[in-house]
Amino acid sequence: MLPFANNVNFLLANIRCLLRSYSAIFFIADARIGALFLAATFYFPNSGWVGLLAAMTGTLTARLFHFSNIKSGLYAYNSLLVGLALGAHFELSFSLLSLIILASILTVFITVTLADALWRFERLPALSLPFVIVAITITFASQGFNTLESYTPHTYLAAFPLPDLVNHFLIALGAAFFTPHPLAGLLLLLGILIASRYLAFLAVSGYGVGYFLYQSLSGISDNPLNYGDAFNFILTAMALGGIFMVPSVTSYLIALLGAALAVLVTMATQAFMQVYHLPVMAIPFLLTILTILSALSKRINSTPPYLLLEHPDLPEQSRERARLLAARGGKINSVPLYAPFQSTWTVYQGFNGKHTHQGAWQHALDFIITLDQKSYQHNGQQLTDYYCFGVPLFSPVYGIVVRCIHNLVDNPIGEVDVNNNWGNLILIRLNDGNYLLLCHLQQYSIQVVEGQTVIPAQLLANCGNSGRSPQPHLHMHVQKSAELGSATVPFHLTHVTTQGISNECIFRFYSRPIENELVSPLIADSGIKQALHLPIGKQLLYRFRKNDEEWQTRQLSVSVDLMGVFCLESNLGAKIYFVEDQHMLSFYARNRINDPFLTLFMLSLGVTPFAGRELSWVDKPPKNLIAKDFIAPLQTLSGTWQRASSLYSTYQRHWNEEQAVWQQQAYHTLGKKSTLSIKTIAFINPNIGCTQLFLYENKTQWLAELYTSGLSNDIGINEHLL
């Protein structure tokens, strides 16, 4: 029975990959919407069948050669476009079948090569560039094909009883799948609306700009761009405003600008391609979007629009991630770094510092160690008087060392070496293509060599006073290129605690510390970490009740899906999704199945650092984490609920000596004027688990107690699904 189940799962996985290749043409990674798009292509059956065969060939080729990221449909959707193009021009036959197979395989190999090259050298996506290359190749080659018969589609319905502009828009939308018909366009628009209303709005906006600009430039009010080529500025607006940028007013204006530029490029491309009797295809879209993305990625300052080249997604998801990132102190396009030390250091100069962190070098931090607000002991005349001199420094990143300078003498106090500004240094190339610079290091203290791979917390060198450094300190920044002195880029520290004037120790998910702020790395406590650890297969059994009602039981199980997303699932089918790393446990989303116990569990633990010390922190999770049991029906209709995008959660944790547990208390509100106010308390017993949970909302109290925990039997992982 097990081999049969494995074969079925393998088949289903391939079908999902195939369907995602259809939805990927409109930047959507959803197999269900892909099925709708597949149906749209069969308005012209010849084109639909040829496209399906090409997509299947592309998917199987990617599987056969074990290319990465097959599940996304990346390789198959370019093959699909090649197939749709062939099906729009040639009748399906045995001769065409051979061409489909060869062209699809060629497309996969070109996709792999181009995707790697574009990302490696420009950090840009390949998009449909492989399709354009193969389509042009086939167009020229087809001049020698004598066995292929031209295909003339039969149009059964000329148009819908809708205004001409609407029909033309739907035709242009369908043309993206080589099915230029209003019915196909309507199905595609429906799929886009299901995935993202904002993406559909961008599609309409992009077409509107292109339509009216073409009319004003050409003076022709009929058949702008023959409708078929108009999909270029529809796709351009969708990609710029909704996929590769965080949605904002700025990104929307750039999307409209991109659509306008795509019209000009389309008109120019038409004139050029007609000379060679070639169609325009997606060339205007590619030229426009790749040029704009490449130019914007080279900006010095991190200001809107924020690019999402590494993590493109639907606009609603991107906006929510950006909101949560900002609420936690981070910023889009900011490079995350761990603290490069293992004790408490003071920020001597921060971003846009008054001394040297200006202009192109504004994104940088200088650190020293202070005691009683002094950085030295005795009279401060000797290097060894300074608390940070000779203190070990550690790698804050994964990367490869590309340059080391280690032989420069440490300056006497008050002296600087202006000929070697950076002093002894280590330059590390990060996985995202940026470079981390640590400098002013102690002479001959560097422990790594050029070409060596480093990991976080690996010993690198000691703090020194070389280069342009009047007193011992560490300078750290991230820059765009390997050239010393090149422009810096924004970064932030992750998983640190900070102390300011109030001396309160605050845990920060992401931190851009300011001048005179004390910064410490988060040191995980093994007891708390073990108590809250959620490995695959772990099961937790709780009993809980509301007020004085009967006790209920709830079993929770940890699992991970095919995309690597971890979740905690109750026996009712409700799920909460989480991320666990070496420093913290974080819950961030839930499914639609209601379970009040999971709300209690998630709000109590929310985001929990593993540090074994008293801490406070703030979070702003999505408001839909709260189950409907905790919300009065009228509450969801109130203006406060409608306006609020998130909860406001304040956490405090201290050691309860009497019970020998960590007591974590939190308040969750929608704002100062909100009638919704929830208090949670969690008791975390080191090495055992979260033994008790309390939730108070108005006059309602929920209580949960841990019965037992353990691991389910491991029956193995289906290798076909990996």
Q: Which residues of 281-303 are buried (b: 16+ CB within 10 A; e: fewer)?
A: bbbbbbbbbbebbeebeeeeeee
Mind listing the pLDDT tens digit for each residue in 462-499? Answer: 999 999 999 999 999 999 899 998 989 899 999 899 98
Average the pLDDT over each of 294-298, 375-379, 504-508, 588-592 and give the range with the smallest value.
Answer: 588-592
Q: Is residue 184 part of a domain?
A: no
Look up the CATH number of the domain holding residue 203. 1.10.3430.10
Q: What is the mean pLDDT of residues 435-451?
A: 97
* CB 543, CB 563: distance < 8 Å: no
Question: Would you give the DSSP letter of residue 571?
Answer: T
Angle at 189 between CA 183 and CA 193, to 5 degrees: 145
Task: Give the contacts of 309 (CB within 8 A, at least 6 positions apart).
Answer: 123, 124, 125, 244, 293, 297
- Inform me whether the pLDDT recorded for 644 exceeds 90: no
Q: What percent of the chain has pLDDT over 90?
A: 55
Q: What is the reported pLDDT for 634?
A: 46
Would 465 be classed as within a structural domain?
A: yes
Output the pTM of the full model.
0.74
pLDDT digits (tens, 9 = 90+) for 343-357: 999 999 999 888 888
So what's the pLDDT on residue 55?
93
Residues in the chain: 722
Give me the mean pLDDT over the 9-33 stretch: 84
The answer to the question of residue 423 being in a domain is yes
pLDDT given at position 657 = 93
Q: What is the pLDDT of residue 156?
A: 44
Conformational region of residue 503, where left means phi above 0, alpha means psi within -120 to 50, and beta covers everything else: left
pLDDT in tens, 655-691: 999 999 999 999 998 765 566 788 999 999 997 899 9
- For residue 140, give every residue at least 6 positions away whose Cβ sits within 8 Å of its Cβ, in sequence order, or none: none
Indicate if 386 and 252 belong to the same structural domain.
Answer: no
The 3-state DSSP class for residue 329 equals coil
Q: Is the pLDDT of residue 116 over 60?
A: yes
SS3 at position 275: helix
Give strand pairing partners of 518: 346, 499
* Mean pLDDT to the nearest integer, 517-540: 91
Which residue shows structure tokens 């208090």? 679
Statement: residue 631 has pLDDT above 70: no
Q: What is the pLDDT of residues 129-144, one digit of tens each?
A: 999 999 999 888 877 7
Q: Which run of H or E residues covers position 56?
A: helix 45-64
Q: How confident is the model at residue 642 (pLDDT cuts 50, 70, 90)?
A: low
Asked if residue 329 has pLDDT above 80, the reply is: no
Domain for residue 180, yes or no? no
Q: Given a cut of 50, is residue 513 above it in pLDDT? A: yes
> Are 146 and 214 found together in one domain?
no
Domain boundary among 327, 352, 379: 327
Last residue of a domain, one of 521, 552, 572: 521
Across the chain, mean pLDDT equals 87
User: Looking at the structure, do residues 408 and 379 belong to the same domain, yes or no?
Assistant: yes
Report the alpha-carbon distance of residue 543 to residue 367 in Å, rounded: 49
* CA-based nearest residue to 83, from 64, 104, 67, 65: 104
Number of domains in the chain: 4
**489 and 382 in one domain?**
yes
| CATH number of the domain within which 357 lies | 2.70.70.10
Q: Do residues 340 and 305 both lie within one domain?
A: no
The pLDDT value recorded for residue 638 is 54
pLDDT at 610 over 90: yes
Q: Looking at the domain assignment, is residue 153 inside a domain?
A: yes
Write the DSSP string, 594-609.
--HHHHHHHHHHSEEE
- Residues 405 and 505 both lie in one domain: yes
Please list, in sequence order, all residues whose beta carbon lies within 8 angstroms of the beta carbon of residue 57, skipping any fewer than 6 positions away: 79, 83, 100, 101, 104, 105
Among candidate residues 32, 59, 181, 235, the one with its CA nearest the CA of residue 51: 59
Same domain for 356 and 304, yes or no, is no
Residues 201, 61 share a domain:
no
Q: Are residues 5 and 114 in the same domain?
A: yes
For residue 305, say if its preceding peptide bond is cis, omega within 30 degrees of 0: yes
* pLDDT > 50? residue 720: no
Q: Torsion over CA of 358, 362, 367 and 370, rounded to 10 degrees? A: 50
pLDDT tens, 77-90?
A: 899 999 999 998 88
pLDDT digits (tens, 9 = 90+) for 44-93: 999 999 999 999 999 889 888 888 765 666 668 899 999 999 998 889 88
Residue 33 lies in a domain: yes
- Whether 365 is covered by a domain: the verdict is yes
Residues 694 and 665 in one domain: yes
**What pLDDT is recorded for position 469?**
95
Q: How confident is the model at residue 225 (pLDDT cuts 50, 70, 90)?
A: low
3-state secondary structure 381-430: CCHHHECCCCCEEECCCCEEEEEEECCCCCCCCCCCCCCCCCCEEEEEEE
Question: Does residue 716 have a pLDDT over 60?
Answer: no
> Are 557 and 631 in the same domain?
yes
For residue 151, the model assigns a pLDDT of 83
For the ranges 6-10, 74-78, 567-571, the maximum mean pLDDT occurs at 567-571
In terms of residue numbers, what domain contains 513?
335-521
Same domain, 356 and 486: yes
Q: Where is the domain boundary, 279, 294, 327?
A: 327
Residue 708 burial class via C-beta count within 10 angstroms: exposed 0-12, middle 13-18, buried 19 and up:
exposed
Q: Kindly state whether residue 172 falls inside one of the protein's structural domains.
A: no
Task: Please enumerate in sequence order all residues whose Cβ is within 8 A of that of 367, keeping only pairs 6 or more positions apart, or say none.
Answer: 340, 341, 345, 346, 347, 348, 388, 473, 474, 476, 519
The pLDDT, as a whole number, for residue 660 is 92
Q: Compute the distance between CA of residue 466 and CA of residue 486 in angstroms, rounded to an integer.
A: 20
